[in-house]
A and B are shown apart, each in its own frame.
Chain A
Amino acid sequence: MDVVIQIVITGLTLGSMYALASVGLSLIYGTLGMFNMAHGLFMTLGAYVAYSVAVAFGIPLVLGIVVAMAAGALIGIITHLVMVRFMLGTADFGTNVLVATAGLGILIEDLLLKVYGGYPYPQPLAVEGFTRIGRVTVTYQAVIIFAVALILILGVAWLLLKTRFGRAIRATALNREAAMLMGVKADTVFLQVMALAGMLAGVAGLMISTQATLSPQMGGDPLLKAFVICVVAGLGNVWGAGLCAFGLALLEAAIGFYIGVRFGFPAMLILVILVLIWRPQGLFGSEKVVRL
């Protein structure tokens, strides 16, 4: 029983972080049709900025989250204004933007390396202490991660489903031309989506750094998993991405416990490939009929 509790807790903690990362990624793909290869660096940037502010001013975790969100949103906005805006609607947008964001990712990573150095720092915003469920240790940090992820994802869900702003995003994702004809300012929507996704990524980065350490490469592994989660959920399907994040994280935790941590991701990937052979459009994706 303890083992099951342990796996569930590890899975939920991992799943919270994956969900924050992959919901943003999925939102961007759904609306702009772009794969953000720099998403991992959005996370890293959020974590580093929160770290710097925390070291300088000694802020509490709540403010740290706000700072990470602001940093993520800012980099999302800059990315859109400086780069993506000019590429939208050009030929081969999908692949070109992938290359460009990958370039941006390696650029930010190098800048972080130059500013902070490659030495891993501990995140000062982490919360100490733990409680026990049965004989299983649960750190407060894990509880906070889960709570933050839950609040933010429910917040995003509320935004998307209940507000005008969310309706504009959903309309644009569904059919860009039709939305524009109905008076939705697609450019503004894209900017808002980039900011929103960047915000989620910033928080995800902060949460990940409290579990491990800060390093310029820390975003790589979560990004990879977020990609896989988005693909298995069906690209652009935000709800599916959230669900799959928890599902795959639980699987990873279980395999990590029973077989070995290094096989967690490979097992996840093999499962994903099997799923895709069975349903190429992803678990929650709907089959698209394309007229040629």
Chain B
Amino acid sequence: MKREPPQSIADYGPLFFPAGMLLIFFVVPFGTMIAVSFFQRQEGGFYTPAFVFSNYERFLTAFFGGVLGFSLMLAVTVAICCVVLALPFTYLLSRLTRRLQVIWLVALLSVLSLSEVIIGFAWSTLLSRTAGLSNLLVKIGLLEQPVALFPSFGAVPTGMVYQALPYTILVLYPAIVRLDPTLMEAARTLGSSPIRAFFNVLVPALRNTIMATLIMVFIFALGSYLLPQILGRPQHWTLSVLITDQAIYQSNMPFAAAMAVFLVLVTLGLVALTLLIGRKGEKA
């Protein structure tokens, strides 16, 4: 079938619906947020329309810089952990029989049905001193007495990786299943070990997919605000937690909006940078 370029407005018809949805549910709210971020905060009240930079000024301090840096570092950590875990898992999954694959995928999808709240509380129980995993370690003699493993830095990415892993696998899965199996067979017949073939053939062949997955998980993890609160100490709170505080508890919408706009800009900047580096690498 030959594809004709669109000739008339009617040919663009199918695009109107998604474009409209994007406009109503993304462009308009985001535009509103940008507008509010320049409004004048009224202490002890709400805000009045204005064009001031004070909300951005308040954000540009070492304190908020530190929180932003931590949030980005946390999201990168979660993204890398997820891809490192999900890539070999998905590859092995793709080599199972159809039936087993379906069972695994259904199990993974069911994890997605858990809310962040349930995941947070489940992990806080698992990591607690009174009922948690450390009791098992005491039973088998590895520990003297049970210890609390949360709140701590380790607990936060653990919960977040658990939450994001099913998404990672579901994004990687189609690409890995479609990958030509003869590539790996060729590597094997040429004398490469399975692990060597995985790293030298499969990973480079999936380069773009891996990059896209990393970015997706990174953005997903950046928005997390409940798990850092439940599993971490205040120094592990992400910028999203502070945005929620300002918006919901302080009713300081202009400042919350300014922080959110800043977060979006930094995120877009980082994603653009990643894509740019990726493209340069391809040319070389």
Question: Are A and B physically bound partners?
Answer: no
On A, residues with C-beta under 8 Å from B are: none
